[in-house]
Structure 1
């Protein structure tokens, strides 16, 4: 009953906040962050890969990474962020990224390739348009997840189809609208995964202690197909992006918590309970870790692979918004603009 009462409180607060500039949620005193009670586990430091203009500019607000062949595509939330410049998406070749990962103490910023983006006018016809949050590439087809803020209603994600020709991306059609399954304010479906048979759209919040249910992802055969809800494992905090799935349906997600996001504080973390907690996480309020999931055609489950706990820096945390695998050596991550525009590499030796 307490869980249902808590969900009702949050839903009511979300509806009230949807028309306000800012809002704070009051948390029950019984829900405390007790991470200091978990055993210690290893952490992995991020290696920063220096960026050049225009991606080093915080206004780029990088929001998604995906591979199109051997090109790492970097999607700003708003492709027309550069005032006076045509809309663009950016990319790096795999060889450039690998060289940067291998380099010792390089300070020369990586200059991205600029790819013309045609279709901003079409995107801006989407009600409540708030930019690109996720992208997946299949051949020359790209599917984008567009965030929308529908005031007075649910958050919603709109799927959009586009074509990539090597020098430009052209938006050609608007597909399915995915209403937020949780109705939580400013929490939508911000991750797309290309899986066998279709697309998986993951919601930011999948904590069953807050939701009291677990059907929080959508599965579609294509970006314009009718969706069906899919159960997801119990995962605290937010999921902000996902890698492509491998042949067995396994993929990695960013599991993130902003230190001031009190509405997602939980009194139990099943991942830390099983694997332990990184030393730098014990005294902080934020969470930065990568978690492996698996889709079997019916459910999204946690695998038996331990999470990658990212060593925290400073007190502000890093809002990792995009992730892509780099072969079998690790992961590439980007922040939006908090605390600044960052491209990072997290090494990983698969067991």
Structure 2
């Protein structure tokens, strides 16, 4: 058995393995430029790779560091052992190799299969699911993306803000320099400026918008959105957040106006670890994934009008430090 981190020489073989063992035509199997954007770090490929006695790949575990060029939490993505492997614990050995790798703080994964939750619990992992919140455009009478049997009456609680934050578009890397990422080092996963810039300003396919909540011209909160289209209709997806949670109230006011102005059907927000009362006061309604009176789709390629629960695991007992979002790992990735 030969388990190691991937190198540049492994790129073609990993892509071939993904195509034959994971999913034929998968974007990481057909688009080398995107593969390298997602998984290359200098001369290293962020995959744990197992090779048999013939040096042929028989198992892979991909991962994405959340803090570039320093010790990092990592989100696992593609985790697959060849159907021809004779080693029944090879998958676990790949995971254990990653857990012991120098510079890895916490291993987690967003988007695990519900059927595998028992395995992660057996391995001592914490498992749960993201909450999905939505803010509907009340000026729209007929929804084409969402399914709305009855327009929800949000709590009209008047929230007294200690501070009113200015919400502005962050449009260059320099603006990120004014945000204190280190203040959120305890967050799991911790994200640094280099990760944030690469993930949202350099993405080769998706166009993200990063908004800052400013207090005295200093950003104290960052929130990331992406417009999702379906035919000629649009929705706004909030995919990441870092900062002071009380500024979500100002973000809520901003998005309630933005979705009306741009005629988005709604804004939705998958997250874990944020104060639900704050989100409710900001104008978001929590989705019950087991009811169909309000359906906010997660899948668009292909489109599926169904509420989807996103499960995760995290190798930590610091549950209060978890701050998970849709863009963590590969949940907000082109297909």
Higher share in strand: 1
- TM-score by shorter chain over 0.5: no
**TM-score bracket relative to the smaller structure:** under 0.3
TM-score by length of 1: 0.24
**TM score, norm. by length of structure 2:** 0.25
Greater helix proportion? 2
Larger CA Rg, structure 1 vs 2: 2
